[in-house]
């Protein structure tokens, strides 16, 4: 034995255990001589790929499975930190919020073996930036909505973006340092390994002592083991050439059969152990974990264990390859399930986009309806962002479709709110005019004339809609201050006159007791003049506090009783009472009550006129009949009713005339 069992690589001529199959020793020697003469590297000339040599006994799906493993091993050999990426879970970063993505980035960027998290960090970057640019578009739109005439460059201070830039920059710096060191090491290690291959070629020297040659050979193998990683695109190439020259050296030495058979036996045992372990891995629940171990077993099979005897070579390699294909198929099935889930996510995201596109065309005509539409889009957008990954080949396009749909909705919404802004600007002008009028009236001391105007201004204010938000508080404050100032002065004035009203109440209270003792003398004219004098005296006593207006009702009851005792016609009585009521309305200066009274009288006039018209139609019906030579009692009753209604109509018209004259005077 030259070294430890797992390091022995002795073979017979043209035996390669699936690594190399050489047609004849003469061909090999001729190629070596040609390479030596040309003084070129042997790599491209002598490499015969493992899988290609077995193309007749292994189907192409198996070739694909083994190729995938060899490529992965080549990458991990170049940078051993890549192995550890499998131990770090790859989350569904698209479904995380920007805050959660920052937290993950902070955690991963602190890992020392930075390349083990490269794929994770790139996924985080893509997800974060997609969400960030969408967020910035929203903020930009908000600014345009608030001030569409702004020409300034948009800038939004977003602390999370600053933190992301800081963390990603730190990761990138660490990655660049790692790459720089790695590239230097890979280059140096490649030169060392190529030099070892060259030295192996030179060992075939009949003039050298065999013991010295073996010693040199073992030193070269030890140096090879410790040479370190090389570029992944050179990995299989250089390894196959190294094995070729090692096997060629064994053939040159013509090792004794017993030593060779012991090597073959040991190597067979080791490879059977690997096969046994792969059989166990086939039943492993965690397929990803099992596949990663399979990668390691392939590396051990190739790099650490030498060849087996020719009689077992094809059989054992086929068993290993078939098991590899089974594991690869299970992994592909898992990948297919993941792809199926990604397709489901894609369909779900397409449906969300379709719903947003519908909302971008659905016309609504009020702020509340638009708020409902906006909430719907926000919910759809949140659902889109939380939905998991889609197939990589459509990821960019689906994001663009989503952003376009949201942008179209926002444009549609903005066209509505531009009209609202125009209307709000018009409302602002109207309210500014009311503020101006209120400020002009706030110092007025003509309370009788100004109070109705101030109340009217307040009513007009209520009817005007919203103004731009930035002016809303200030203009309301100006208007409220002007109104409050006026009504506070009015209240103070009322408080000053309140003592006079209380005095008037006391006088009227005393006069009311005196009036209760008044008796008519029986002469119509004198009694009527006396009642009118009482009315004038009552009015001269002035206004009473609003809360004590009940005394007016008591006075009116006494008057009604006096009018009943007078021998007046119904019309005269009614008009006398009404004159007293009109006087009270005139004193109150309550334009609303006067207007209501006027409307009531006009309505009564219409009712009486309609009644007269109906009665006159009825009388025509009876007088136009053949038997109407003599009016019967019904006709006479109708005529009498018509006369009564006409008298009533005259009373109401007289009342309207009086109320109108009072309105004109006021």
The predicted-structure confidence for 252-262, as pLDDT tens digits, reads as follows: 665 556 656 77
* Mean pLDDT of the residues in the chain: 75
Give the model's confidence band at 45: pLDDT under 50 very low, under 70 low, under 90 confident, else very high.
very low
Cα–Cα separations (whole angstroms), residue 185 to 72, 180, 195, 221, 584: 20, 9, 15, 19, 111
Where does the pLDDT of residue 314 fall: very low under 50, low under 70, confident under 90, or very high at 90 and above? confident
pLDDT at 461 (0 to 100): 92
Could you tell me which residues come within 8 angstroms of residue 601 by beta carbon, excluding any fewer than 6 positions away?
652, 655, 656, 659
Q: Is the pLDDT of residue 276 over 60?
A: yes
Q: What are phi and psi of 478, to 5 degrees?
A: -60, -45
Q: Give which of 8, 26, 30 is closest to 17, Cα–Cα.
A: 8
- Distance, CA of 362 to CA of 359 (rounded, Å): 5
What whole-number distance in Å separates Cα of residue 40 and Cα of residue 35?
A: 6
The alpha carbon of residue 543 and the mean position of all alpha carbons in its chain are separated, in whole angstroms, by: 66
pLDDT band at 432 (very low <50, low <70, confident <90, very high): very high
Torsion of CA 627, 630, 633, 635, to 10 degrees: 70
pLDDT recorded at residue 257: 63
- Whether pLDDT at 48 is above 50: no
For residue 544, the model assigns a pLDDT of 79
> d(Cα 144, Cα 414) in Å, to the nearest integer?
9
**CB-based contact 593:630 (threshold 8 Å):** no
Instruction: Write the DSSP string, 202-213.
Output: HT--TTS-HHHH
16 — pLDDT class (breaks 50, 70, 90) = very low
pLDDT at 561 over 60: yes
Q: What is the pLDDT of residues 277-301, one digit of tens each?
A: 988 888 888 888 888 888 888 888 8
Q: For the chain, how many residues are written?
A: 666
Radius of gyration of the chain (CA): 54
Query: Inter-axis angle of helices 159-202 and 25-38, to 10 degrees?
Result: 110
More confident position, 424 or 3: 424
Measured at the CA of 20, the angle between CA 13 and CA 42, to 5 degrees, comes to: 95
**Structure tokens given for 322:** 């078939």
Q: How far is Cα 200 from Cα 194, in angstroms, rounded to an integer?
A: 10
Query: What is the percent of the chain where pLDDT is above 70?
Result: 76
Classify 252 in phi/psi space as left (phi over 0), alpha (psi -120 to 50) or beta. Answer: alpha
**Residue-level pLDDT at 152:** 54
CA dihedral 77, 79, 81, 85 (to 10 degrees): -80
pLDDT above 90: residue 351:
yes
Q: Is the model more confident about 265 or about 574?
A: 265
Let me know: does 250 contact 9? Beta carbons within 8 Å.
yes
Question: Phi/psi class of residue 590: alpha, beta or left (left: φ > 0; alpha: ψ in -120 to 50)?
Answer: beta
Dist. CA 376–CA 246, nearest whole Å? 71
pLDDT score for 661: 76
Higher-confidence position of 69 and 653? 653
Query: With bands split at pLDDT 50, 70 and 90, how would you rate the model's confidence at 2?
Result: very low
Residue 36 has pLDDT above 70, yes or no: no
Confidence of residue 13 (pLDDT cuts 50, 70, 90): very low
State yes or no: pLDDT of 33 exceeds 50. Answer: no
With both helix axes pointing from N to C terminus, report the angle between 60-78 and 232-253 in degrees, rounded to the nearest 10: 100
Of 183 and 11, more confident: 183
Q: Which of 126, 155, 117, 127 is nearest to 139 (CA)?
A: 155
Look at residue 590 and tell me whether its pLDDT is greater than 80: no
Sequence-distant (≥ 6) Cβ neighbours of residue 372 within 8 angstroms: 364
The pLDDT assigned to 657 comes to: 83
Is the pLDDT reported for residue 376 higher than 80? yes
Angle of helix 159-202 versus helix 210-225 axis, rounded to 10:
170
CA distance linking residue 559 with residue 554, whole number of Å: 9
Q: How many CB atoms lie within 10 A of CB 563?
A: 18
Mean pLDDT of 472-491: 87
CA distance 388 to 87: 21
Most confident of 147-151, 174-178, 450-454: 450-454
- The tokens for 433 are 């005019």
- Write out the two tokens for 579: 């004159």
Q: Can you tell me the mean pLDDT for 314-338? A: 85
pLDDT tens digits along 621-659:
766 655 554 567 777 888 888 888 888 888 888 888 877
Cβ(23)–Cβ(14) under 8 Å?
yes
**pLDDT class for 60, splitting at 50, 70, 90?**
low
pLDDT of 354 reads: 92
Query: Given this model, what pLDDT does residue 44 score?
Result: 33
């Amino acid at each position: 034995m030259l070294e430890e069992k797992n390091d022995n690589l002795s073979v017979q001529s043209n035996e390669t255990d699936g690594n190399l199959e050489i047609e004849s020793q003469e061909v090999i020697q001729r190629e070596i001589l040609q390479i030596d003469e040309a003084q070129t590297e042997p790599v491209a000339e002598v490499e015969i790929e493992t899988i290609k040599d077995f193309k007749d006994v292994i189907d192409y799906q198996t070739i694909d499975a083994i190729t995938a493993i060899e490529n992965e091993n080549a990458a991990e050999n170049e940078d051993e930190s890549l192995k550890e990426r499998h131990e770090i879970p790859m989350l569904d970063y698209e479904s995380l919020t920007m805050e959660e993505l920052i937290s993950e980035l902070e955690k991963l960027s602190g890992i020392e073996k930075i390349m083990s998290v490269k794929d994770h960090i790139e996924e985080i970057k893509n997800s974060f930036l997609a969400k960030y640019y969408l967020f910035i578009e929203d903020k930009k739109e908000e600014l345009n909505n608030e001030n569409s005439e702004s020409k300034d460059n948009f800038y939004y201070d977003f602390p999370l973006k600053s933190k992301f830039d800081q963390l990603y920059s730190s990761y990138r710096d660490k990655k660049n340092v790692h790459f720089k060191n790695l590239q230097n090491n890979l280059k140096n290690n490649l030169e060392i390994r190529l030099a070892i291959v060259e030295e192996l070629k030179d060992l075939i020297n009949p003039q050298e002592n065999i013991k010295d040659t073996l010693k040199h050979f073992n030193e070269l193998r030890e140096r090879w083991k410790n040479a370190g990683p090389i570029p992944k695109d050179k990995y299989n190439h250089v390894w196959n050439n190294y094995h070729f020259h090692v096997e060629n050296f064994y053939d040159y030495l013509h090792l004794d059969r017993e030593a060779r058979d012991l090597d073959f036996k040991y190597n067979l045992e080791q490879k059977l152990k690997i096969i046994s372990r792969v059989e166990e891995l086939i039943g492993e629940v965690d397929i990803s974990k099992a596949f990663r171990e399979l990668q390691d077993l392939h590396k051990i099979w190739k790099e650490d264990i030498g060849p087996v005897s020719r009689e077992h070579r094809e059989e054992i390699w086929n068993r290993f390859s078939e098991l590899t294909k089974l594991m690869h198929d299970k992994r592909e099935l898992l990948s297919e399930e993941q792809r199926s889930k990604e397709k489901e996510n894609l369909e779900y995201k397409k449906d969300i986009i379709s719903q947003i596109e519908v909302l971008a065309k659905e016309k609504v005509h009020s702020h509340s309806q638009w708020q409902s539409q906006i909430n719907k889009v926000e919910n759809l957008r949140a659902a889109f962002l939380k939905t998991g990954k889609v197939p990589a080949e459509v990821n960019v396009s689906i994001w663009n479709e989503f952003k376009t749909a949201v942008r179209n909705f926002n444009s549609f919404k903005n066209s509505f709110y531009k009209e609202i802004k125009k209307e709000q600007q018009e409302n602002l002008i109207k309210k500014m005019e009311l503020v101006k009028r209120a400020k002009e009236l706030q110092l007025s001391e003509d309370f009788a004339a100004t109070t109705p105007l101030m109340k009217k201004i307040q009513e007009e204010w209520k009817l005007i809609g919203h103004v731009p938000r930035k002016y809303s508080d200030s203009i309301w404050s100006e208007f409220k201050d002007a109104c409050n100032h006026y009504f506070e002065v009015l209240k103070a004035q009322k408080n000053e006159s309140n003592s006079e009203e209380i005095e008037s109440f006391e006088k009227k209270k005393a006069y009311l007791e005196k009036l209760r003792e008044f008796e008519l003398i029986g002469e119509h004219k004198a009694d009527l003049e006396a009642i009118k004098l009482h009315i004038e005296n009552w009015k001269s006593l002035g206004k009473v506090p609003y809360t004590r207006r009940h005394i007016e009702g008591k006075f009116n009851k006494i008057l009604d009783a006096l009018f009943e005792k007078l021998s007046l016609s119904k019309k005269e009585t009614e008009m006398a009472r009404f004159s007293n009521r009109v006087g009270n309305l005139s004193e109150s200066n309550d334009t609303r009550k006067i207007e209501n009274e006027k409307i009531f009288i006009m309505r009564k006039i219409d009712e009486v006129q309609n009644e007269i018209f109906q009665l006159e139609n009825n009388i025509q019906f009876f007088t136009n009949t053949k038997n109407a030579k003599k009016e019967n009692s019904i006709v006479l009753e109708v005529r009498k009713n018509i006369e009564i209604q006409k008298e009533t109509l005259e009373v109401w018209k007289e009342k309207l005339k009086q109320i109108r004259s009072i309105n004109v005077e006021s």
